[in-house]
C-alpha cells in the first residue's frame, strides 16, 4: 500500500507560558518516531499515554502514527489497577507518562513496558496543586525530553495512518479498546472533507483544546488541528473565566466543547461574561452528552450562530451534525446524517422503523475505516445490525431525517460528557464488606446532566457500612468520577421475578417531570 508524503505539522503549540513552534513540534515528532522504532515498535503495536494535556501528548501520539503504531490514551483519573488492565490488554510496549501520574501506578506497569517519564509542566502543576517534587522526573527514570533529543529524525517511508485506540467501557464492566483499521489512500480526501465539516478546522486557524485529550472527540480534534491549524492552545484544566480570557487573548476561532462547559460558563455573572471579547469564535462544536434546550439556546444567544453539534460515538465517529440555524428550527435535534452517513431506527424485533417512530438508533459512515474491539472481535456483533452499529441510544427521525434522542436503552450514564457504566461500579461495590446487593444509575444533575447514585442493600447479620465507608471503598478501586455522588442504604430493594433488582423502579422517581423517557 502506498501513501502520499506526510507534510510537516502546521500548528504552533501553547500551554500556559510555554510555546513550541510548529517546526520544532514536527522535529520532536520525527525524533520520537525514530526512537519508538529503535525500541522495536512495529506497525500495529501500542504506545500507551498517561498524560494530561501537554505537548508530549501530541508528540507521542503523532510519533506513533508515523510508524503505523497505535497511541492508546489512558484516562489519568484511573486507579493503578485500571491502568494496569489497559496496559496489559493492549499489550503496550511503551508507556509515556507524566511524573506525578506515574508515581501512583508504577507498581502495576508490566516489566516488559518501556517507561518514558515526562516532567509535569508548571501550568499543570499549578492547576492541580501539585508539589514541585511530584512534577520532577526521578533521577533513575528515562526523561522524555532528553530521550527525544537523543534520537535522529525519522527517515522511514509514510505508513497508512492509524487513529488513537480509545478504551471505552462496556456493560460487562471491562473497558474495550476500539481498534480502527488504518486509513487507506483513497479515503484520505473524503476524511479531510469530513473532518473539516465536523471540527471546523481551516488552515491557519487558532484552536483551543479545553477538554482532556484522553477523550475521543478532543483527541481527534487536536490531532487533526496539529496538521492543519496555525495554533493550538492547550488548557491544563477547564476554568470558565480562564477559558474566556484565553479565547480573547489568542483570538481562538474553532474549538470542541461539552455541555458541562456551557453550564459553567453560563453560571458566571453576566458582567464577567461581558468583560471578554469572543468575537473571534467562528465554530464551536459540542457533543458527548445531551445538552439541555435552554442551555443550548442561551449559548447561541450569547455567541451567535456559531454553535454546532454532532452525534456519534468512539465506535461510529460523528454521523450527524446540526448547525445553529437547523437547531433553532428544530430545538432538541442532534442533526442530520452527513454525506456518506446514514441513521436507521430499529425496534427490538429488528424491524426498521419509519419517521416519527421511536426505537434504537443505529448509524453507519461508509468511508470510515472499520473497527473491532481489541482482543474481543466477537463483541462487535453485539452492537451491529445489517452493517450499522449502535451505542444503545433510543430516538426517532423526523420526516426530513433529523435525529432526536429521547432515551438510552442501556444503563450508561453520561456525566459531564464522560461515559460511565454502572456495571463496572456494581462489580466493585458488591465486594464492599457489609454489602449484599446494589444498584447504580444516573439521576438528574443541574451541572453535569447526570450524577451517579448507588442504592445499597446491607448484608444481614453484620454491621451495615455507612455511605462514607462505601465511598471510601470505591475510591480505593475506581477513578474518582466513577464514585457515586449519592449513596443510599435500603434494606429491601425492588426485584423482578428472577430476583434481579428492578432498577427502573429505583430510578424513575428521580426523572419524573424532567422531560426524559426512561
- Nearest Cα to 494, choosing from 486, 504, 484, 485? 504
To the question of domain 413-511 being in CATH 3.30.450.40, the answer is no
Average pLDDT over residues 384-406: 93
pLDDT: is 382 or 518 the higher one? 382
Dump pLDDT digits (tens) for 82-128.
999 999 999 999 999 999 999 999 889 999 999 999 999 999 999 99
φ and ψ at 342, to 5 degrees? Answer: -150, 145
Same fold, 12-289 and 413-511: no
Average pLDDT over residues 345-364: 95
pLDDT surpassing 90 at residue 163: yes
- Nearest Cα to 236, choosing from 343, 78, 98? 98
Grid cell, residue 363, equals 448509524
Average pLDDT over residues 140-144: 97
Kindly tell me the burial class for residue 516, based on how many C-beta atoms sit within 10 Å of its own C-beta (0-12, 13-18, 19 or more). middle
Q: 35 vs 21, 109, 248, CA distance in Å?
A: 21, 20, 38
pLDDT of residue 169: 66
Query: Taking each helix axis from N to C terminus, what angle separates 259-266 and 240-250, rounded to the nearest 10 degrees?
Result: 100
Average pLDDT over residues 59-76: 96
φ and ψ at 208, to 5 degrees? Answer: -135, 145
pLDDT surpassing 80 at residue 354: yes
Stretch (H or E) spanning 224: helix 216-228
Q: For the chain, what is the radius of gyration of the CA atoms? A: 23
Average pLDDT over residues 33-44: 97
Stretch (H or E) spanning 102: helix 99-102
- Nearest Cα to 220, choosing from 260, 251, 180, 189? 180
The DSSP annotation for 19-41 comes to EE-HHHHHHHHHHHHHHHHHTT-
| Gap between the Cα atoms of 153 and 26, Å rounded | 10
Average pLDDT over residues 143-161: 93
pLDDT of residue 184: 80
* Rounded percentage of the chain residues whose pLDDT exceeds 90: 73
Spatial contact of 370 and 409, defined as CB atoms under 8 Å apart: no
Residue ranges per domain, the chain?
12-289, 413-511
Mean of the per-residue pLDDT values of the chain: 91
Dump pLDDT digits (tens) for 167-214.
986 544 578 999 999 988 777 777 888 888 899 999 999 999 999 999
Dump pLDDT digits (tens) for 236-259.
999 999 999 999 999 999 999 998
402-408 vs 449-458, strand pairing mode = unpaired
pLDDT of residue 315: 94
Average pLDDT over residues 375-387: 91
Largest CA distance in the chain: 70
Look at domain 12-289 and name its CATH class: alpha beta
176-180 vs 371-373, strand pairing mode = antiparallel
pLDDT surpassing 90 at residue 412: no
Dump pLDDT digits (tens) for 206-240.
999 999 999 999 999 999 999 999 999 999 999 99
| Gap between the Cα atoms of 440 and 447, Å rounded | 19
pLDDT surpassing 90 at residue 337: yes
| Gap between the Cα atoms of 417 and 371, Å rounded | 23
pLDDT of residue 499: 57
Spatial contact of 309 and 322, defined as CB atoms under 8 Å apart: yes
pLDDT: is 313 or 185 the higher one? 313
Spatial contact of 177 and 374, defined as CB atoms under 8 Å apart: yes
Dump pLDDT digits (tens) for 428-446.
898 899 998 889 999 999 8
pLDDT surpassing 60 at residue 498: no
Dump pLDDT digits (tens) for 1-31.
445 678 899 999 999 999 999 999 999 999 9
pLDDT surpassing 70 at residue 310: yes
Amino acid at each position: 500500500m502506498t501513501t502520499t508524503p506526510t507534510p510537516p505539522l502546521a500548528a504552533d503549540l501553547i500551554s500556559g507560558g510555554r510555546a513550541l513552534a510548529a517546526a520544532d513540534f514536527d522535529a520532536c515528532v520525527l525524533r520520537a518516531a525514530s526512537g519508538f522504532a529503535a525500541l522495536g515498535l512495529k506497525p500495529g503495536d501500542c504506545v500507551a499515554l498517561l498524560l494530561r494535556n501537554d505537548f508530549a501528548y501530541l508528540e507521542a501520539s503523532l510519533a506513533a502514527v508515523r510508524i503505523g503504531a497505535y497511541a492508546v490514551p489512558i484516562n489519568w483519573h484511573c486507579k493503578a489497577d485500571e491502568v494496569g488492565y489497559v496496559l496489559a490488554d493492549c499489550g503496550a510496549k511503551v508507556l509515556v507518562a507524566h511524573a506525578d501520574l506515574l508515581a501512583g501506578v508504577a507498581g502495576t506497569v508490566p516489566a516488559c513496558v518501556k517507561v518514558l517519564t515526562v516532567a509535569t509542566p508548571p501550568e499543570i502543576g499549578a492547576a492541580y496543586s501539585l508539589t514541585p517534587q511530584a512534577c520532577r522526573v526521578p533521577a533513575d527514570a528515562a526523561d522524555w525530553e532528553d530521550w527525544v533529543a537523543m534520537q535522529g529524525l525519522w527517515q522511514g517511508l509514510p505508513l497508512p495512518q492509524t487513529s488513537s485506540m480509545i478504551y471505552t467501557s462496556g456493560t460487562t464492566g471491562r473497558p474495550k479498546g476500539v481498534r480502527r483499521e488504518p486509513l487507506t489512500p483513497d479515503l484520505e480526501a473524503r476524511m479531510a472533507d469530513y473532518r473539516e465539516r465536523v471540527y471546523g478546522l481551516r488552515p491557519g486557524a487558532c484552536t483551543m483544546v479545553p477538554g482532556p485529550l484522553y477523550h475521543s472527540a478532543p483527541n481527534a480534534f487536536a490531532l487533526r488541528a496539529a496538521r492543519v491549524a496555525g495554533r493550538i492552545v492547550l488548557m491544563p484544566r477547564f476554568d470558565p473565566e480562564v477559558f474566556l480570557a484565553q479565547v480573547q487573548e489568542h483570538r481562538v476561532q474553532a474549538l470542541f466543547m461539552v455541555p458541562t462547559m456551557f453550564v459553567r460558563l453560563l453560571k458566571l455573572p453576566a458582567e464577567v461574561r461581558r468583560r471578554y471579547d469572543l468575537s473571534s469564535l467562528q465554530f464551536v462544536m459540542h457533543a458527548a452528552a445531551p445538552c439541555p434546550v435552554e442551555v443550548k439556546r442561551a449559548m447561541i444567544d450569547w455567541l451567535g450562530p456559531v454553535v454546532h453539534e454532532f452525534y456519534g460515538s468512539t465506535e461510529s465517529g460523528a454521523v450527524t451534525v446540526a448547525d445553529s440555524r437547523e437547531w433553532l428550527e428544530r430545538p432538541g435535534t442532534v442533526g442530520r446524517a452527513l454525506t456518506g452517513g446514514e441513521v436507521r431506527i430499529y425496534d427490538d424485533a429488528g424491524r426498521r422503523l419509519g419517521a416519527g417512530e421511536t426505537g434504537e438508533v443505529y448509524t453507519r459512515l461508509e468511508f470510515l475505516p472499520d473497527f473491532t474491539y481489541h482482543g474481543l472481535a466477537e463483541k462487535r456483533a453485539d452492537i451491529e445490525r445489517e452493517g450499522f452499529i449502535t451505542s444503545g441510544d433510543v430516538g426517532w427521525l423526523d420526516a426530513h431525517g433529523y435525529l432526536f434522542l429521547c432515551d438510552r436503552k442501556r444503563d450508561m450514564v453520561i456525566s459531564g460528557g464522560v461515559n460511565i457504566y454502572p456495571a463496572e461500579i456494581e462489580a466493585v461495590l458488591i465486594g464492599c464488606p457489609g454489602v449484599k446487593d446494589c444498584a447504580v444509575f444516573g439521576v438528574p444533575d443541574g451541572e453535569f446532566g447526570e450524577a451517579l447514585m448507588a442504592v445499597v442493600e446491607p448484608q444481614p447479620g453484620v454491621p451495615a457500612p455507612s455511605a462514607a465507608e462505601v465511598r471510601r471503598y470505591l475510591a480505593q478501586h475506581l477513578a474518582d468520577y466513577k464514585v457515586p455522588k449519592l449513596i443510599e442504604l435500603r434494606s429491601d430493594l425492588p426485584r423482578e421475578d428472577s430476583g434481579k433488582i428492578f432498577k427502573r423502579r429505583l430510578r424513575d422517581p428521580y426523572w419524573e417531570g424532567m422531560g426524559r423517557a426512561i
